[in-house]
Amino acid sequence: MPYLSWREGSQLLRHAVQDGCLIGRDPIACAVAQPGIPSLSRRHATIDRIGGIWWIRDLGSAEGTTLNGLPLNHPQGNSLRDGDELVLGGWPLRFTEGFPGLDGVQFIERVGDLFHEVRPEPAQALVLIRGMELLFRSTDKLLRQVDSDAIVKGLLDESLRLLGGDRGFLVMRQGTGWRTAHRVGDVQEGIGLSRSVLDYVSQERTAVLSNRPLADPRFGGMSLVELHRGSLMCAPMEDEGTLQGVLYLDRESEGRPFSRFDLAIFKTFVKQGSMALRQAGLNRQALGQAEQQGELLRLRSGSLREIERHGHLLAAMAGPLRRVQSWAAEVPDPRGEAIRTQIDQLVSLLDHGSREGLMDEAPHAGHPLSAQSLQEDLSRRWESLVSLRRATLAMAEAPTGSIWLTGGPLLAALAGLVEPVLMQLNPGATVSTRWDQERGFQILRLSLPPGLHSPTPDPWSQRVLQESGVRWRWADQSFDLLLPEGPDAMPEEPTRPLLGLVSDDLNLLGLFQTVAEAGDLLLHPLESHPQPPPLPKFRFLVVDAKGTPDLEACIRAYRSHPSFATTPILVVRCTEEATASLIEAGATDWLAEGFRWEALHHRLQVLRGHTELQQRALAAERLESFRQMAGTLKHEINNPLAIISMQVEMLQRKYPEEVKLGKIGEMVERIRALVQVLQKMRETPTEDYADGSSILKLV
């Protein structure tokens, strides 16, 4: 950071130039001001940073401004360099890139490398050789370490041994504070490691030496408790321009000063240690990626073995099933036809399962099928079941159009949807069908007798039907099958559940991509602040503590967002000390630095189970609400229903030929029955529809 300095008597005053400043006589308008100099203009000059270079520009003052004895020769200003002398209206100032007024012996910073700091004298050459020898040994020992924790410990230990220090601290940056990673020596709480030293080094990004810390002007005259009387050195640890931590060491007793050459060795060694620490991190990432690849290969091999085992099992099942199929051909109708139809479906499913197990199976393209052909096939399947129930099936004439049939066992899935309903028929019942049309769909409508329950397909049939674009609906004993006429009516490929990741560290993407694939999730990178609604539903949200600038604000923003109000939020690479505030901000769980991908995968599964438990608790709460509501409904609805029922009965006696009165009586009884069902509920079953919606199932 650059400074402007000037003297008032024997005292040297300084001003840190952070974002530019005005210089003049007015102390209110100017950051650097001298009201007592009449020749100084009210606003004399300005210093600004343009393109990484500091510039000074005269503001038209009467006395002018000189730079190193020469007037400013450019209207836009002149560039400044370290050590430049400025005179503004007779007021001398000095511009320095670092802290001004250091004596170079007791207070030192901004040293060069080892060769620049050695004077051309024989004795100094021996000092350089000895220093290089010690530095090589310490660096070689440090680079032999492969673990980050061992490097952190070795960096401090070797620096103390290299420079003859008594105590040392290695602190790492953590948000706006510091965290001690390692310390050596007679350490007392609150003594030695001054916050002002750490803040100065981290702000200036320079190694510092102080042989008189209590009198050092850079550290603000800290108290005797915080600063030690002995000599100290402190250097920043940087990784590609980012401050990672600070290495600090000192000598407890006075009279043992450090030299400028010591600071040069210390600075070089810390730089080598930072590089070793970064290399260890890269090695750890490489090992982690190798472990991920190995785990993926293991999972893939296990999957292939499982597919092969299932293939053998399906092949073994095929023989007995085909023998049963041949024996069923001799069973007389109608039971024989029903058995043969079911066995044909089993054979079809078996063949499809065998093909589906192949890894290189091409996706089904689909093809049109006339409605007449589909009806003939469905009629053959359904008539056998209806006859078995001693009921009647009346199929209407099929339209001339066609439906879009995807490859795969769509007919078997339709059977899994419709046939359980047909098996509920009572003897003598009649099922009739008719065709209708909506935009993009041919509708096959089944009219069913009262008393049948709505369809509840098994998960496999439901998935196949949804992927094939088939929809269904149930209302007033009418069962509609909506069959797509073409590929335009087919649904888009279903999206996998989303795993959100908030992190600026691109190295984590590979790890989380592996975890997402293992959990059948889709990785979706997110910013540190959520976008406004609407957003898709995320199954998990992972926030990287080291890759998010303001961690708690990020968690609060996502937790208050409507799309993430109930989403589990997992914080990774965070410290145990910060977990309390993170949980308070809205985080669900956390993982510390150095976690393996298996631990992350397992933790997400645990969070998924936690979410399911919460959903069950909500369902139980909803059930209790239903029961309370049912009690109220029974009291509030039954009385009006009783009056309506009584009035309908009187009207029926007076007008016995009126059919509508009978329908009203049936509806009244149905409402009364539904209230009874609500009151006796022990669970909250729901019925899902193909469009993703669901309703409470009462019958």
Task: Dump pLDDT digits (tens) for 429-469.
Answer: 999 999 998 888 899 999 998 888 888 777 777 878 887 88
Structure tokens given for 251: 């000598």
Model pLDDT, residue 497: 83
Give, to the nearest 10 degrees, the angle between helix 122-143 and helix 260-328: 20
The residue among 597, 601, 574 whose CA lies nearest residue 587 is: 574
Better-scored residue on pLDDT, 208 or 359: 208
Average pLDDT over residues 176-192: 68
In this prediction the pTM is 0.47
Q: Is the pLDDT of residue 329 over 70?
A: no
Tens of pLDDT, residues 576-622: 888 888 888 999 888 887 666 667 767 777 777 666 666 666 666 66
> Which range has the top average pLDDT, 206-210, 410-414, 462-466?
206-210
Which helix (H) or strand (E) segment holds residue 296: the answer is helix 260-328
pLDDT at 61: 80
Neighbours of 572 (CB within 10 A): 24
Angle between helices 371-388 and 410-422 (to 10 degrees): 40
Distance CA 209, CA 216 (A): 10
Domains of the chain with CATH codes: 3-96 (2.60.200.20), 112-284 (3.30.450.40), 332-489 (3.30.565.10), 498-595 (3.40.50.2300), 613-696 (no CATH)
CA distance 426 to 66: 109
Mean pLDDT, all residues of the chain: 78
Longest CA–CA separation in the chain, Å: 132
Is there a contact between 224 and 202 (Cβ–Cβ < 8 Å)? no
For residue 352, the model assigns a pLDDT of 63
- Least confident interval from 54-58, 98-102, 154-158, 173-177: 173-177
Burial class, 523, CB count within 10 angstroms (exposed 0-12 / middle 13-18 / buried 19+) = middle
Rounding to the nearest 10 degrees, give the CA dihedral for residues 435, 437, 440, 441.
-30
CA–CA gap between residue 134 and residue 265 (Å, rounded):
9
Model confidence at 272, pLDDT cuts 50, 70, 90, reads confident
For residue 93, count other CB atoms closer than 10 A to its CB. Answer: 21
**What pLDDT is stored for residue 470 in this prediction?**
87
Instruction: Give the neighbor-by-neighbor strand order of the sheet with 53-58.
Output: 32-33, 21-24, 45-50, 53-58, 78-79
Question: Considering the chain, what percentage of its residues have pLDDT values greater than 70?
Answer: 74
**CA-CA distance, 380 to 396, in Å (whole number)?**
14
One-letter amino acid of 378: L
On the question of pLDDT at 75 being above 50, the answer is: yes
- The pLDDT value recorded for residue 365 is 58
pLDDT over 60 at 360, yes or no:
no
Q: Per-residue pLDDT averaged across 625-629, rounded?
A: 67
**For the residues 614-634, what does the mean pLDDT come to?**
65
Highest mean pLDDT among 172-176, 271-275, 541-545, 590-594: 541-545
The burial class, CB within 10 Å (0-12 / 13-18 / 19+), for 593 is exposed
Q: Given this model, what pLDDT does residue 143 score?
A: 67
Apex 400 CA angle, 394 and 403, nearest 5 = 90
Contacts of 215 (CB under 8 A, 6+ apart): 106
Whether 689 has a pLDDT exceeding 60, the answer reads no
